[in-house]
């Protein structure tokens, strides 16, 4: 089979197996969500065209192995009946991953599912110098490991303290993982060191008198990598508190990679080569 055909198939989510003319089909499942009727169709396709099983990927995806080359169009047609599409492979933006966020999880600070869909609609399969992964996690518990992604988005909360409502009970100090809060119960004094704060929101969620409140937003990391080389994404910006600015940041980051990246070069190595401060300067320009 022509190598160009293989490349086009991979671009459309069909990955060549070691077995001759067999392909593993990666599906597009945004934020790890798939409807029950879609899951039923996946099961039917695995039985009919595969070997009766599926593989769950590390990025919340579903793959159906052992699809024959001759059956690819039939499989795509059946997927379309339940509004399922193949995923993307190769040098382009991959399917967005996300935890369940504040709609389901008690720890969640931001909404994640709709955000993942919005990002996917705008960036999915966009051609870039190399694969580009975006992951969303709802809070500092970081279940989706945001910093492993080329661009990671994490829910955060910048707290504010209201002295009039506080009883100095000490709950906020007890739950703070960053030791940013000190309380003197004898003198009714509270000291909050914002420089230590990691925006986890635990003080706000745990306060029995609502003396703590704050502003919810997005903590963004850049240049994460988890493969042959491992790197944690870097935080370059303060907490972003509105979705419009968040999308400006994502736009700027994706375009920066497109303009500065070399072919087959992951985003982290582009930043190493051209300088991460160059990206930071562009980002600071769009959030002002």
* Cβ burial, residue 230 (10 Å; 0-12/13-18/19+): exposed
pTM of the predicted model as reported, rounded to 2 decimal places: 0.93
For the structural domain made of 92-288, what CATH number should be given? Answer: 3.30.413.10
| pLDDT value of residue 6 | 78
pLDDT band, residue 10 (cuts 50/70/90): confident
CA 94 to chain centre: 10
Provide the percentage of residues in the chain whose pLDDT is more than 90. 93
Q: Report how far apart the first and last C-alpha atoms of the chain are (Å, whole number).
A: 52
d(Cα 200, Cα 30) in Å, to the nearest integer?
Answer: 25
Give Cα separations from 70 to 22, 25, 113, 171 (angstroms): 9, 13, 35, 63
Whether 1 shows a pLDDT value over 70: the answer reads no
| pLDDT tens per residue, range 243-252 | 999 999 999 9
List the domain boundaries for the chain: 3-80, 92-288
pLDDT band, residue 230 (cuts 50/70/90): very high
| pLDDT tens per residue, range 13-56 | 999 999 999 999 999 999 999 999 999 999 999 999 999 999 99
- Token couple for 40: 């039923």
> Any idea how long the chain is?
288
CA atoms within 13 A on the CB side of 198: 12
Non-local CB neighbours of 157 within 8 Å, separated by 6+ positions: 109, 199, 200, 201, 204, 214, 215, 216, 217
Higher model confidence: residue 227 or residue 151? 151
Q: Please state the rounded mean pLDDT for residues 69-93.
A: 94
| pLDDT value of residue 5 | 81
R_g (Cα) of the chain, nearest Å = 22
Whether 8 shows a pLDDT value over 90: the answer reads no
Query: 């990927």: which residue's tokens?
Result: 57
Query: 């960053």: which residue's tokens?
Result: 178
Q: Please state the rounded mean pLDDT for residues 247-275.
A: 98
Answer yes or no: are the C-beta atoms of 187 and 125 closer than 8 Å. no
| pLDDT value of residue 159 | 97
- Token couple for 92: 């382009």
Query: 């809060």: which residue's tokens?
Result: 181
d(Cα 214, Cα 17) in Å, to the nearest integer?
Answer: 51
* Cβ burial, residue 287 (10 Å; 0-12/13-18/19+): middle
The strand pairing partners of 22, in sequence order, are 68
Whether 3 shows a pLDDT value over 80: the answer reads no
| pLDDT tens per residue, range 120-154 | 999 999 999 999 999 999 999 999 999 999 999 99
Average pLDDT, the chain: 95
CATH class of the domain at 3-80: alpha beta
Non-local CB neighbours of 132 within 8 Å, separated by 6+ positions: 92, 93, 94, 126, 150, 151, 254, 257, 267
């Amino acid at each position: 089979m022509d190598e160009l055909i293989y490349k086009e198939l991979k671009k459309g989510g069909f990955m060549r197996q070691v077995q001759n003319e067999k392909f593993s089909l990666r599906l597009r499942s945004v934020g790890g969500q798939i409807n029950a009727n879609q899951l039923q169709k996946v099961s039917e396709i695995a039985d009919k065209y595969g070997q009766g099983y599926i593989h769950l990927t590390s990025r919340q995806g579903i793959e159906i192995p052992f699809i024959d080359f001759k059956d690819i169009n039939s499989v795509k047609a059946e997927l379309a009946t339940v509004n399922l599409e193949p995923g993307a492979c190769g040098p382009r933006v991959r399917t967005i991953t996300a935890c369940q966020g504040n709609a389901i999880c008690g720890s969640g600070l931001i909404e994640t599912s709709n955000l993942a869909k919005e990002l996917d609609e705008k960036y999915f399969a966009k051609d870039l110098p190399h694969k580009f992964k975006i992951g969303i996690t709802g809070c500092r518990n970081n279940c989706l490991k945001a910093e492993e992604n080329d661009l990671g988005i994490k829910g955060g909360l910048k707290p504010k303290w209201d002295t009039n409502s506080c009883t100095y009970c000490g709950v906020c100090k007890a739950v703070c993982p960053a030791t940013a809060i000190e309380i003197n119960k004898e003198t009714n004094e509270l000291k909050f060191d914002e420089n230590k704060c990691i925006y986890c929101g635990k003080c706000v969620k745990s306060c029995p008198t609502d003396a703590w409140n704050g502003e919810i937003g997005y903590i963004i990391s850049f240049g994460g990598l988890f493969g042959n080389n491992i790197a944690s994404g870097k935080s370059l910006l303060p907490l972003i508190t509105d979705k419009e600015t968040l999308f400006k940041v994502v736009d700027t980051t994706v375009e920066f990679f497109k303009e500065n990246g070399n072919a087959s070069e992951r985003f982290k190595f582009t930043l190493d080569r051209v300088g991460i401060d160059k990206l930071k300067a562009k980002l600071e320009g769009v959030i002002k």
